[in-house]
Amino acid sequence: MNPLLLWPDPPSPDVVRVLDLAGVPWKAAGDEASARAGSWSGAVVVADDDPDAAFAMARTLRRSDLAIAPLLLVVRGTHVGDLVDRHDVFDDFCVSPFHPTELEARVRHLLAREPGVDLGPEVIHYEGLVLNVETYQAAINDRPLDLTYMEYELLKFLAMNPGRVYTREVLLSQVWGYEYYGGARTVDVHVRRLRAKLGEEHAALIQTVRSVGYKFGESRWNS
């Protein structure tokens, strides 16, 4: 598939991170000339820092001679009202700050409607770890992992956010859900089981951050 056009240039690191993890090709274009120089599957325009310039760029991309679609706008909650009467310049929008899963889902939903675009199954890669989100299969260095549902959900959540530290309480609420009444020990037990199943060579992928919680691997977008 052709890449997604990302605006501005340089693009938002948070958006790049989501697209890279999802395996969606992209290329930044900061102006009309750059947009004309490429062939695109669609566009993501981030209006966080300069909404007026973002809306102007979105309108440029949708002009009849360019007609780049689908187009996703990323806007702060305080600027959602600015989308009124601008529906002709975007197909969908996502409120920033966004959860990575939401942004990926919106991008996939938009691209799925385009003929000839096939993103394939949603897969998370980190070094030798592969998680197929659609089939709930997991493998490390081509070795299948036999995980329970909650072990898989915990590993998926951590692997989607490498390098980020989470408290046990946050993991409980995000993975098990707000209505789950188990204690923090539940997280510790599942981490211990995951490390055992990953094997001695890869157990350190899930690191204990003393007095805080856990993190998975290292961020690939360190500044």
Q: Measure CA of the first residue to CA of the last residue in the chain; give whole Å.
A: 29
For residue 144, cis peptide bond before it (omega within 30 degrees of 0): no
Distance of alpha carbon 212 from alpha carbon 68, whole angstroms: 45
Tell me which architecture the domain covering 4-112 has in CATH. Answer: 3-Layer(aba) Sandwich (3.40)
**pTM score, two decimals?**
0.58
Distance of alpha carbon 39 from alpha carbon 153, whole angstroms: 37
Express each pLDDT in 118-172 by its tens digit.
555 577 888 889 898 888 999 999 899 999 999 999 999 999 888 889 999 999 8
How is residue 125 written in tokens? Answer: 């890669």
Express each pLDDT in 182-218 by its tens digit.
778 899 999 999 999 999 999 999 999 998 999 999 8
Express each pLDDT in 59-110 by its tens digit.
999 987 888 989 999 999 998 999 988 889 999 999 998 888 788 888 988 8
Choices 3.40.630.30, 3.40.50.2000, 3.30.420.40, 1.10.10.10: CATH for 123-216: 1.10.10.10
Break the chain into its structural domains and give their ranges: 4-112, 123-216
